[in-house]
Structure 1
Amino acid sequence: MFEYFQGLGPVQQALLAGLFTWGMTAAGAAVVFLFTGFNRKFMDIMLGFAAGIMLAASIWSLIIPAIKLSGDWGYLNWFPASAGFLLGAVFIAGLDRTLPHLHIGSPYENAEGIKTSWRRSTLLVLAITLHNIPEGLAIGVSFGAAASGHPEATIAAAISLALGIGIQNLPEGIAISMPLHSEGTSAAKSFWYGQLSAVVEPVAAVLGAAAVVFVMPVLPYALSFAAGAMIYVVIEEVIPESQLNGNTDLATFGAISGFLVMMILDVALG
């Protein structure tokens, strides 16, 4: 199976990895068919866990390889990774200010982005979709980087990144479907909205891989761009959201656990 995966092109690999992470979100959303209760403490732990995964993935799988790939810049070897990182953060900040979305547990009037009359369920899905765009990009550029032949970027590292993001997508699916169901939405519709939030991941993964493959010199920028986008989402949205209900210690240990899981995956597989 692994040999077959290695034999595919980077865009195909990115597509399969993106479909895997989408499937993990759908699996999490499907929990709504098994349970009706909504445990806020558990959700805050899972949000913290997702934040830890994203932080560790940004460092080990994206920023460090981006810096190593910039070695031929001499004393300016810090520039590509720094520029890409800043651009990624600015890009997501722009989406955050324009894309209408609503964070889990927030009242409708606290919706962010351009004001619309869209339903609460749509705004909740868009909030998680905003998280998933940089995750899909990260997967795509990682597989594109592996195809470059640089020793700093390997197929195993790209797979470990996809596994880590897939693991943290499981609670993200739960985080959409369960609150919706507890507010009166049917289980089927709650599942539909939950999995829908991750449709963007395989699309972003393919775009990220294609961009790197066809414009190889942008590789360090692309890796750090995805890192900047992910870290912006973590600091601006995921961590604050995990601590809104006073479960700060639980959410923090969730983040520590997620960081540890991603670090082990990257070191063990990468």
Structure 2
Amino acid sequence: MIDMMLSDTLLVALAAGGLAALLTSVGALLGILFGLSRVKPERFLDVGLAFSAGVMIVASFTNLLMPAMEAWSAPPAILGLITGVVAMIAVHVMLPHEHTRKEAYEGPYWGRKLHVALLVSFAVVIHNFPEGLVIGAASAYDVKSGLLLGLAIGLQDIPEGIAIILPLYLSTGRAVYSLAVGMLSGLSELVMALLGATLGESSMALLPVLLGFGAGAMIFVSVREVIPESFREGHEDEATLGFFLGFIMMLLLDLTLS
């Protein structure tokens, strides 16, 4: 009987987590399409980076920090926040600034842009871990709750998928590689949903720290890397517009789904 209940729970978590992963991939595909429509790649890339920062900053507070503090308490969320910042400092130091690229994308300019794009991808993947756990835990509690939460988080993941893929594609010119990174980001959420369903309520003990960790990672990347890089080449006005576009889009989506 217990095995059957666990099997049913895992199926619900698979469906809910798979829905979130699919919608993340939809966002990734939209990022590729936006990238293909670019006129001036350098300017469009800075707009895309700033858009990513706007999405990540809103998501850090509305999806991660505020729920952690409201459902649990501030200390574990703040501990996770500090840990996330420290972890991303380490990743920033270790991540190579140069990378194998197509010939058209060689040179220090594209090397810097790729470094920032990879940090954005890494931060959003980390942010997906606690969201996946929440989906899994909800699936263990109730079928309807799990599926609805998977849909809600998945819809929020669409702009996040764009935020990952748009700067990554524009800095590499490699559509398949960029799309694969976006799909792997969604799969990380699916894996964590299955883990959350297996652990049930026990997975919730780690959640406030993980939520804070994801917020710290995304805030650090936005403030330390993404925003300064998007302003570096003299595209401040366009980048500012891109930032607020991402900020408002994510905020409206969160308010709609809250």
By the TM > 0.5 criterion, same fold? yes
1:9 partner letter: V
Q: Say whether residues 1:263 and 2:251 are aligned partners.
A: yes
Q: 1:166 maps to what in 2?
A: 158
Mapping for residues 49-60 of structure 1, pairs under 5 Å: 49-60=51-62
Percent of aligned positions that are identical = 27
Q: Say whether residues 1:225 and 2:228 are aligned partners.
A: no
Mark the CA change 1:228 to 1:36 in structure 2 (over 3 Å): closer, same or farther.
closer
Residue 234 of structure 2 aligns to a residue whose secondary structure is: coil
Q: Say whether residues 1:192 and 2:176 are aligned partners.
A: yes
Q: 1:117 maps to what in 2?
A: none
Mapping for residues 55-204 of structure 1, pairs under 5 Å: 55-70=57-72, 77-102=73-98, 107-108=107-108, 126-127=118-119, 129-144=121-136, 146-147=138-139, 159-170=151-162, 172-181=164-173, 190-204=174-188
Q: What stretches of structure 2 of length at least 5 have no aligned partner?
A: 1-9
Kindly state the Cα deviation for residue 69 of structure 1 after the two structures are TM-superposed: 1.3
TM-score normalized by the length of structure 2: 0.74
* 1:205-238 per-position Cα deviation (integer Å, ceiling 9, x unaligned): 1344355452221122222222112212212222
Q: 1:21 maps to what in 2?
A: 24
Q: For 1:201 and 1:141, how far apart are their aligned partners in 2?
A: 14
Deviates more, 1:207-216 or 1:103-112: 103-112
* 1:116-140 per-position Cα deviation (integer Å, ceiling 9, x unaligned): xxxx98x787455424422432542
More helix by share: 2
Q: For 1:14 and 1:231, how far apart are their aligned partners in 2?
A: 25
Q: For 2:248 and 2:116, how far apart are their aligned partners in 1?
A: 28
Q: What stretches of structure 1 of length at least 5 have no aligned partner?
A: 1-6, 71-76, 113-119, 182-189
Kindly state the Cα deviation for residue 60 of structure 1 after the two structures are TM-superposed: 0.9
* 1:230-269 per-position Cα deviation (integer Å, ceiling 9, x unaligned): 2122122221221121112221222122111111111111
Mark the CA change 1:239 to 1:8 in structure 2 (over 3 Å): closer, same or farther.
farther
2:92 partner letter: D
TM-score normalized by the length of structure 1: 0.71
Kindly state the Cα deviation for residue 158 of structure 1 after the two structures are TM-superposed: 5.9
Moved over 6 A (4+): 103-106
Deviates more, 1:260-269 or 1:123-132: 123-132
- The partner residue of 2:12 within 9, 12, 22 is 9
Q: 1:243 maps to what in 2?
A: 231
